[in-house]
Structure 1
């Protein structure tokens, strides 16, 4: 599907803020509302827009105790299907939030969420590492999220230090 410059702008706007109304988008792009709605419907139908989501700062929710880990996975690709077959097996696990084929020292980057570090460790040792094509894994636990999908999570106060010059 060939997209126009306005189509790309529309996608960029809703990717940045999916809460923008059709009316607001139409005004921002100087396009009639019905045309915006038709484009959005087409983008959903064509799987260009896959899902509308909310970005939650879980560190602000005291009752949430989950952990996130990024797991580097080295695998042996299979002839004829490459990495796709093992990737499909991995992304079907409900703990897996994202999965990317990477260049560099490992093949797949897997983001996993669990209720505890032990739960994530069990997933890695019992399910992920035991898959036939998996050669090795390296798990990194997320300690703090500063920025995600272009959104900064830090509440930044102005710098109140005194300026000192020699």
Structure 2
């Protein structure tokens, strides 16, 4: 991969909304070159999607529960973990799925409207897959940083600390 392509990837990963003219100046290329690079990276499935990081805790009308589920599975002969991973990531509740090293094989991130909905997903969908041996569910309580973006409080406390 060429240096300019790598530069474009790093910049877009940090901010997918950088205008083409600005991106061209940042990598010392023409706008046409940048457009061609982006098109090539999209066609080659290097760039898969553009997304925004949203602090949903500030949108009271939309409350969800996020859970990280550690899953121990029996790999299948000839396909390893891929077949069971594909069955799991097809569920609409699944937002992310990773093959892991360590005590568990897969890490599944899901979202639901309530803890009960997450529990039903685990008990009725995930645990019923024949190759799933065990699950451990962890509920997300607060998000501090996601995809390199730090979630900050609205305002710092400006009061003076008073001690006796």
Q: Report the TM-score range of the alignment, normalised by the length of the smaller protein.
A: over 0.9
The secondary structure found in structure 2 opposite 1:56 is: coil
1:37 to 35, 38, 44: 35
Runs of 4+ aligned structure 1 residues displaced above 4 Å come to 158-162
Q: What whole-Å deviation, never above 9, does each CA across 1:92-145 have from its counterpart, x for those lacking one? A: 000000000000010000000011110010000000001010000000010000
Structure 1 unaligned regions, length at least 5: none
| Structure 2, unaligned runs of 5 or more | none
What's the Cα RMSD here? 1.6
TM-superposed CA distance for 1:160, in Å, is 6.1
Residue equivalent to 1:135: 133
| Paired residues for 1:93-112 under 5 Å | 93-112=91-110
The alpha carbon displacement at 1:6 in A equals 1.9
Whole-angstrom CA distance in 2 between matches of 1:56 and 1:22: 23
Residue 82 (structure 2) aligns with: 84
Alignment deviations for residues 26-53 of structure 1 (CA, whole Å, 9 cap, x no partner): 0111111100000000111000000111
Aligned residues: 162
SS of residue matched to 2:16 = coil
Deviation of 1:4 after TM superposition, in Å, equals 1.5
SS in 2 for 1:113: strand
- Residue number in structure 2 paired with 1:74: 72
- 1:64 deviates by 1.1
